[in-house]
Amino acid sequence: MSSESFSIKLDRRALIKTAAAVGVAQIASPFVITARAADTVKIGLDNPLTGTYAALGKNELIGAKLALEHINAKGGILGRKVELLVEDSTSGDAGTAVQKARKLIDRDKVDFLVGNINSALAQAIANVAYEKKVFHVVPGGHTDSVTGSNCHWNVFRICNTTQMEASAVASSLIKNAGKKWYYLTPDYAFGHTLQAGLEKAAAKLGGTKVGGDLTPLGTTDYSSYLIKAQAAKPDVIIFLQAGDDAVNALKQAVQFGLNKKFHLAGAQQELEVLLGLPPEARIGTWVFEWYWNQPNVPHVKEFVAEIRKASGGHVPTARTWFGYAAISTCAIAAQQVKSLDAVKMAKAMQGFKLPPEIALMPDGAYFRKGQGQLIPDLFVGQAQSKGASDPEDLFKVSDVVKGESVAESLAETGCKQTWPS
């Protein structure tokens, strides 16, 4: 490791520790703030800070830091101050993500592990956490296997499965846009399972696939894919990209004028993407996993206000909430059993319903017993070019879908947890 990269890492970690200290300085005694490292509870965050998903990682970090402040303001975990150790997993290098996970567990001795946004990296990190028997929360990696065929007793996930997202939006697309779909899909675990989920959900409603392409992560030029999609003459072009890839794909689709010929849509959409698009490209039918404009839901207004203070006036995104809920889950698990024992914590979270101030959605959210998958609400609606009351209100929710109504049964997920003897 070069001295430059070492310095950058130290500066990032120092910044996070300082932010946490500032958050509790007004209410905690100096003795708590200056506690020795051995007396702290450590949470390791192994998430993208660079690459295609950097913006998403940044917002998960903002949410994580707010949760850390709240936890420390209430006395920490088991009376001990909590610190957050952050490592850049990169956006697509599983080897780096695994290396960082092992560093956090073996060298830094973290009590909890959180990450990742990239589904393939999330699964790889989960496998390490399982090997090491560390309580692990996946904030935003969606591929089904994480809490499905490759689930683990110690792994919990905040974001939805791709199957849940697909099932939530399929009927709206069939009804309002048409049955012939062409897929543009990122070529890795997240894209593969999301497309499979959409194909399955659409087929049940009479929908058909008229073509599709797999696009490499980090693609900047989508022209060849868009030409092929246009030639297939679908009713709907399905965009399954995320982060910077989604911005590039949708922007170029509008430049080609495809929005005037076809319905452009997908499953998962994010505020980071809509903010990165020109107004004319903020179109289509999508699923938001959490949305900030929920005027009648308790605690949401206060959460939005706190995040705006921490982010230079920007509203929280679903990613912000993922980070907040993930770190909060770590604290909740320990407090439930008054212990940092991973097995005890994992058992306590089976079927656990998040408190309203953490769930922040109309019907609440709970971790399904035997799977570790959070079952929340999903927000289906349409992107809008500009917000009527706020410049960052770029999504109009048309339907709040209960997670229970679109989640597969436990048997269908393929999850079979094996617990330590």
Angle at 242 between CA 175 and CA 330, to 5 degrees: 105
What stretch of H or E contains 248?
A: helix 243-255
Give first-to-last CA distance, the chain, whole Å.
40
User: 226 near 252, Cβ under 8 Å?
Assistant: yes
Residue 33's pLDDT band (cuts 50, 70, 90): very low
In 3D space, the residue among 241, 240, 188 whose CA is nearest the CA of residue 209 turns out to be 240
pLDDT tens, position by position, 327-378: 999 999 999 999 999 999 999 999 999 999 999 999 999 999 999 999 999 9
Interval 1-11 mean pLDDT: 34
User: 125 near 93, Cβ under 8 Å?
Assistant: no
| Residue 91, both tokens | 């956006």
Query: pTM for this structure?
Result: 0.90
3-state helix, strand, coil in the chain (%, to 5): 45, 20, 35
In 3D space, the residue among 170, 164, 168, 216 whose CA is nearest the CA of residue 193 turns out to be 164
Q: What is the residue extent of each domain of the chain?
A: 3-160+298-375, 163-288+378-406
The predicted pLDDT at position 182 comes to 98
User: 119 near 147, Cβ under 8 Å?
Assistant: no
Interval 398-404 mean pLDDT: 97
The predicted pLDDT at position 38 comes to 60
| Residue 237, both tokens | 């072009």
Supply the CATH classification number for the domain 3-160+298-375: 3.40.50.2300
DSSP result, 353-376: BPPHHHH-STT--EEPTTT-BEE-
Q: Which residues does residue 314 pair with via DSSP β-bridges, in sequence order? A: none
Pairing of strands 180-186, 155-157: unpaired
Contacts (Cβ under 8 Å, ≥6 apart) of 262: 229, 230, 234, 235, 236, 237
User: Taking 60 as the threshold, does the pLDDT of residue 3 lie above it?
Assistant: no
| Residue 304, both tokens | 């939005």
User: 265 near 253, Cβ under 8 Å?
Assistant: no
User: 153 near 373, Cβ under 8 Å?
Assistant: no
User: CB under 8 Å, gap of 24 or more: what pairs does 310-314 form?
Assistant: 310/62, 310/65, 310/66, 311/59, 311/62, 314/392
| Residue 42, both tokens | 């450590």
Q: What are residue 104's phi and psi, to 5 degrees?
A: -60, -40
The predicted pLDDT at position 1 comes to 38
User: Taking 50 as the threshold, does the pLDDT of residue 274 lie above it?
Assistant: yes
User: Taking 90 as the threshold, does the pLDDT of residue 14 lie above it?
Assistant: no
Half-sphere exposure of 349 (CA within 13 A, CB side): 32
Residue 13's pLDDT band (cuts 50, 70, 90): very low
CATH-assigned architecture of domain 163-288+378-406 = 3-Layer(aba) Sandwich (3.40)
User: Taking 80 as the threshold, does the pLDDT of residue 24 lie above it?
Assistant: no
pLDDT tens, position by position, 211-254: 999 999 999 999 999 999 999 999 999 999 999 999 999 999 99
User: 319 near 142, Cβ under 8 Å?
Assistant: no
Interval 291-312 mean pLDDT: 97
Query: Would you give the DSSP letter of residue 104?
Result: I
Q: Do domains 3-160+298-375 and 163-288+378-406 have the same CATH topology?
A: yes
Contacts (Cβ under 8 Å, ≥6 apart) of 5: none
Of the given ranges (33-47, 82-96, 123-137), which has the lowest mean pLDDT? Answer: 33-47
Average pLDDT, the chain: 92
Residues in the chain: 421
- The CA distance from 225 to 228, in Å, is 5
In 3D space, the residue among 137, 267, 127, 244 whose CA is nearest the CA of residue 192 turns out to be 267
Instruction: Output the CA–CA distances (angstroms, integers) from residue 82 to 45, 69, 214, in the order listed.
Output: 13, 9, 42
pLDDT tens, position by position, 170-183: 999 999 999 999 99
- The CA distance from 324 to 379, in Å, is 19
